[in-house]
Structure 1
Amino acid sequence: MNMKRNQWLLMLAVAATLSGPAVAQTPAETTAPGGNSTTVHLIRLLVEQGVITDAQANALLQQAQREAQAASQPRPEPDVREGDVRVPYIPEVVRDEIREEVKEDVMAQAKAENWAAPNTFPDWVSRVKVFGDVRVRNESRFFSGDNSDEIIDFQKLNDDGPYDVNEDSVTYLPPLMNTREDRENLLRIRARFGLEAALSENWSTGVRLATGSSNGPVSTTQTLGGGLSKKDIWLDRAWISWRPGNWNFTAGRAENPFVSTDILYSGDLNFDGVSARFSGLSFSNSGSFFGTLGAFPLQYSDDDWPSNSRDKGKSEDRWLLGAQVGANWEFKNQSRFQAAVAYYDFDNLRGQRSSECFLYQVGPPCDTDWSVPAFMQKGNTVFLLRDIQLDPSDPAHTPLPQYVGLASKFQLFDLNVRWDTTLFNGYKLQLAGNYIYNHGYDEQEMWQNAEGQLANNFNVNTGEIESGRDAWMVHAAFGSSLDLKRRGDWMTFLGYKYIKPDALPDAYNDSSFHLGGTNAKGYYLGAAYALNERLYFQGRWMSSEEVYGPPLSIDILQLELNARF
């Protein structure tokens, strides 16, 4: 559209030049190949841009020559009749100034938009889009003095382990979480920078880099300090997409392709694998369907495991398989309703109890060490993976070095609904809800698979598992705008979350609420204000506590400045 508009501007400029009395130019100036005529230059520019052909250009020049010759002949005074309007004569100097101003404006725009000289910039410049954002956050964490001080950090236990669980032989405590000592005014940053390139009409590719204190999947935030050391940069995304019609096929590491909330998937979470999305399939004047299919590897088996044995373990890959279908309804009063239901199968994610292993004989590792989770936050029920046999010579003091694995299966049904509408004076309102049900949760099966060796979420007095299979949240936002894209835009929001321990994997949800994971309930509220179209301030308060088990109350205050480009 810009090219056509600019070409029409050129043609109008030529028309303006030709429309004045031709005495402003001599025939020689009009037709001379190397003359300095504005008309000649503009006509040549039209030829170079492909707006007119050489034949059409010659015709324009000949027309200008004929009009110049006709204008040079003396003309009789026209008869003046009643009602005639006399147009003042525009001096030649003024006409020349108008032509030059039009020419300068058109040429300036042509150069700025790279269509007057299309070979000035490389081709890739017009096909590449740069995007990114920077966030600076001040975060304070407040813990209740009544919290339990014996909550084990199972992720760290696995990372540093195995850990000896025999109280008669171990000489140190397992890694424990900080649950009582406040941490105030942690200055933290997040920086992300990406490139997206169009390869053809339907193909594109892109990469994004991001900060992060580790290679964990749920956060790209990094705490400052550390002796003023430089900060880490990770490959956050790398993908190729194909968009034929209403479909979008993506392969690589890309953004979350599903409609979801951070109760299940963190906003910083990206997905490794392949996905296929469709949208825009209308079923009424106001409604349309959309859907997504995806397969994402969570963890591959180690090809060389166990390294000190000729017999290698079989393939035990773990996958996330997901399918979602939903619908959008658009209404005349600028309202929109969306509903989506999804099914996620976290295949082979549950841990496996090992066969008998004789570690006191310095034998190979136990045969299900592969089922250690790649990443955990906290909340899921875990159990001791190894079936370690006691040393007959000293059974009481036999070391029992253990890893832990997830006790439950995770086969999730996920329902999301959202209502967006415009109220009085153009104010925006959004209401949303999310419900998750873990069909794979079965307490009897968990107990049998763990052979009774549960490490948490178990009441020793009643002999019962203290967990559950469902989670839900509600969210409301109100303001002048919910996207904060104009100076002065503002919004407020609040919500409530309730997440039972085994309603979903604790590895992938928001890392701020309850400092990540499951077995949490509580509220959050906040507000944001746009300083300009690319910069906004946000404050958020979150208050949460445990659903089951030892007391763990955590309050979080976040004040942050967000810039985007």
Structure 2
Amino acid sequence: MNHPAIPQRHSGRGAAWPAGRASQQPAPARKTQILAAAMAIALLGASAAGHAQSAAPAESSMVRLIRSLIQSGALNKDAGEALLAQAQTEAMAAQQAQRLAAAPAAGGLRPEPGDVRVPYISETVRDEIRDEVKGQVMAQAKAEGWAAPNETPEWTKRIHVEGDIRVRNESRFFSGGNSDIAIDWAAINQGSGFDVNPNTNLSLPPLLNTRQNRPNILRARARVGILADISDSTHAGVRLATGNDDSPVSTNQTLGGGLAKKNVWLDQGWLSYKPAEWVNITGGRFGNPFVSSDLLFSNDLNFDGLAAQFEKALPQRDVTLFGTLGLVPLEYSSDSFPSRSQNKMGSEKKWLLGAQAGAEWKVNSDNRLRGAVAYYDFRNVSGRLSQPCALYAGADGCSTDWSRPAFMQKGNTLMLLRNIALNPLDPAGTPQPQFVGLASKFQLLDLNMRWETKVAGRYGLRLDANYVRNLAYDENGMFTRANGGIVNNFGGSGGTTRADFKSGGNAYMFQATLGKPSPSARGDWNVLAGYKRIEPDAMPDAYNDPTFHLGGTNARGYYVSGSYAIDKNTWVTGRWTSTKEVFGPPLAIDILQVEINTRF
């Protein structure tokens, strides 16, 4: 979910009777007794003076009733003693009033035997007595948790549960004219390297499938999160998700596998604090804090680190200003490298530093505009050529092995990382296992625009545009950094010289959505169409949409989809994506996805 994501909410205990009572009563009986006692106290206090010749019998009845309630546990001791003192005081006042009334007034009549004097107590006074007693009794009942039998404990009101489930059928169609030599560089980096010496290794490197269709792959995604409102300013969240592996851009789980149980991963775990109404600071692992599209960041991508989000509304102008600062650790080098050496390597860190500013303008009831500009600086992510390393003599890796990407899809220009020393006794027979790293640096300017309007007076229309430029793209810098060790992104002629090299640093996307972008009520629908073009080194290929061209860069093509809600928060979607390479050997991929989604 944009703010992102992936945002992104009950047990109770009845009151128990005191231990050790000769007879314990259930909670409903106790409630009945309390309410009856409250009404009895109110009525008795209101009419005590009017039903007796003197105050003593009324006072005695009142005191006995309250003491009985305290002893039975129906009244809290403190509250009962307060009521007892009040009853005694009022009884004494009533007794004094009766004595004065019994004395013959000047010029008045002397009471005769058998006469009954009935003092008048106004309705207002009776109401006040009743309300006071009822308030004290109900306060005790609420404190003990049985005043409202259907009420849940307070802490449960601050916990929220949300989640979603998706079941998808996916088919992948590859052109028969595709190149059949597409190296799986990610597999090389995840292993022990690929030996590039043809004298010691005659096998091919791991290759991607580029020609064999893969129809009807059933996949599922399930996510569940718990959100906690610690206070008005502090919030926290934890979310679990499925996934084939620890890929940062997908939580899809391919079904099958002999019906084996599926993996569950920590997808989010964050804490946020609002020091002021206009700023929110989040730390941990959280949804995408930036306004962006899946051209750059996959919808399933979550961020590690710290983010500060700012928002200020200008009501008089119908404008909202917003901004985000992000400090995201991408990778830390191993603390114990080289593992078999007493001399350890210094710490190396890869970072993403992001800053964004934007505004949203409500033009009128039918039109809304949003624009944002962002700068993303990927620090220390490009590859480095190592110092000479004598692997043949037992060296535990090379000095820049840490610079290979922890995760990659495909498309970026790559370079060999290891400067492997040859065995002087057998130079031609020295194995040369290599890793690859990113040849380019990445400092991205990201421009994002959205216009929401209505057509035909009722249908929502959303237009999105996104442009990304890698300000650090430098072809000369890449070849200098690699010292001639560039290994991909050459033209389709088969040559591997500088003249055959093809790359670029620009990417853009246009998308139009008609209908409701996020179906929720039964009958909601939308259709959308879009086009993307991503040159090889416009951005790191690790973090964008894994469906378009099966992820990464060096891709161009269109996509169309439609969704319809068949029930509340339940909708079906069909999506067709057709892509080709921008530069290099031919690689055309079409993808059909049909899915059903629900959220709760």
The TM-score with structure 2 as length reference comes to 0.75
Alignment of 1:14-25 (within 5 A): none
Q: Distance in 1 between matches of 2:503 and 2:296?
A: 17
2:327 match: 295
User: How much has 1:160 moved relative to structure 2?
Assistant: 1.8
1:514 match: 549
- The letter of the residue matching 1:359 is L
The CA RMSD over aligned residues, in Å, is 2.7
Change (3 A) 1:457 1:424: same
Change (3 A) 1:268 1:62: farther
Match of 1:457 among 480, 485, 489: 489
Q: Distance in 1 between matches of 2:497 and 2:435?
A: 25
Match of 1:445 among 459, 471, 477: 477
Match of 1:315 among 343, 347, 365: 347
- The letter of the residue matching 1:474 is F
User: How much has 1:395 moved relative to structure 2?
Assistant: 2.4
Asked if residue 482 in structure 1 is aligned to residue 542 in structure 2, the reply is: no
Question: Secondary structure at the residue paired with 2:312?
Answer: strand
Change (3 A) 1:62 1:312: farther
User: How much has 1:28 moved relative to structure 2?
Assistant: 7.5
Asked if residue 137 in structure 1 is aligned to residue 173 in structure 2, the reply is: no
Asked if residue 352 in structure 1 is aligned to residue 384 in structure 2, the reply is: yes
Residues 491 and 527, structure 1, Cα contact 8 Å, conserved in 2: yes
User: How much has 1:251 moved relative to structure 2?
Assistant: 0.4
1:93 match: none
Deviations 1:241-277 (A, max 9, x none): 1122011110000000000000100000000000000
Alignment of 1:357-376 (within 5 A): 357-376=389-408
1:103 match: none
Deviations 1:447-498 (A, max 9, x none): 011011111013536523211001000000002x222121101100000000
Residues 283 and 289, structure 1, Cα contact 8 Å, conserved in 2: no
Asked if residue 492 in structure 1 is aligned to residue 527 in structure 2, the reply is: yes
- The letter of the residue matching 2:386 is S
Change (3 A) 1:455 1:64: same
Asked if residue 472 in structure 1 is aligned to residue 493 in structure 2, the reply is: no
Deviations 1:400-423 (A, max 9, x none): 100000100000000000000122
Q: Distance in 1 between matches of 2:440 and 2:571?
A: 41
Residues 280 and 289, structure 1, Cα contact 8 Å, conserved in 2: yes
- The letter of the residue matching 1:390 is L
Deviations 1:509-542 (A, max 9, x none): 0001100000000000010001122101001000
Match of 2:243 among 212, 219, 233: 212
- Structure 1's consecutive aligned runs of 4 or more residues displaced over 3 angstroms after TM superposition are 26-34, 64-67
Larger deviation: 159-168 or 347-356? 159-168
Deviations 1:354-410 (A, max 9, x none): 011121222232111111100000000111100112223332232110000010000
Question: Secondary structure at the residue paired with 1:559?
Answer: strand
Question: Secondary structure at the residue paired with 2:449?
Answer: strand
| Aligned sequence identity (%) | 53
Change (3 A) 1:30 1:273: same
Residues 142 and 183, structure 1, Cα contact 8 Å, conserved in 2: yes
Deviations 1:118-162 (A, max 9, x none): 895333211001100000000000000011111001111111221
1:420 match: 452
Deviations 1:96-138 (A, max 9, x none): xxxxxxxxxxxxxxx9xx9952895333211001100000000
1:401 match: 433
What is the total number of aligned residue pairs between the two structures? Answer: 476
Q: Distance in 1 between matches of 2:456 and 2:415?
A: 55
The TM-score with structure 1 as length reference comes to 0.80
- Structure 2: 5+ residue stretches without partners: 1-41, 49-61, 66-74, 80-85, 91-120, 128-141
Match of 1:63 among 123, 131, 134: 123
Change (3 A) 1:367 1:533: same
Match of 2:303 among 265, 271, 277: 271
Match of 1:526 among 561, 565, 568: 561
Change (3 A) 1:116 1:428: farther
Asked if residue 261 in structure 1 is aligned to residue 293 in structure 2, the reply is: yes
Change (3 A) 1:396 1:66: closer
2:22 match: none
Residues 31 and 65, structure 1, Cα contact 8 Å, conserved in 2: no
Question: Secondary structure at the residue paired with 1:307?
Answer: coil
Alignment of 1:225-236 (within 5 A): 225-236=256-267
Alignment of 1:44-443 (within 5 A): 63=123, 117=148, 120-243=151-274, 244-282=276-314, 285-443=317-475
Residues 499 and 547, structure 1, Cα contact 8 Å, conserved in 2: yes
Residues 46 and 126, structure 2, Cα contact 8 Å, conserved in 1: no
Question: Secondary structure at the residue paired with 1:197?
Answer: strand
Asked if residue 553 in structure 1 is aligned to residue 588 in structure 2, the reply is: yes
- The letter of the residue matching 1:241 is S
Question: Secondary structure at the residue paired with 1:551?
Answer: coil
1:71 match: none
User: How much has 1:316 moved relative to structure 2?
Assistant: 1.0
Change (3 A) 1:261 1:66: closer
Change (3 A) 1:302 1:118: farther
Residues 438 and 503, structure 1, Cα contact 8 Å, conserved in 2: yes
Change (3 A) 1:345 1:27: closer
User: How much has 1:31 moved relative to structure 2?
Assistant: 7.1
Deviations 1:176-195 (A, max 9, x none): 00000000000000000000
Q: Distance in 1 between matches of 2:456 and 2:447?
A: 30
Change (3 A) 1:171 1:28: same
Residues 333 and 422, structure 1, Cα contact 8 Å, conserved in 2: no
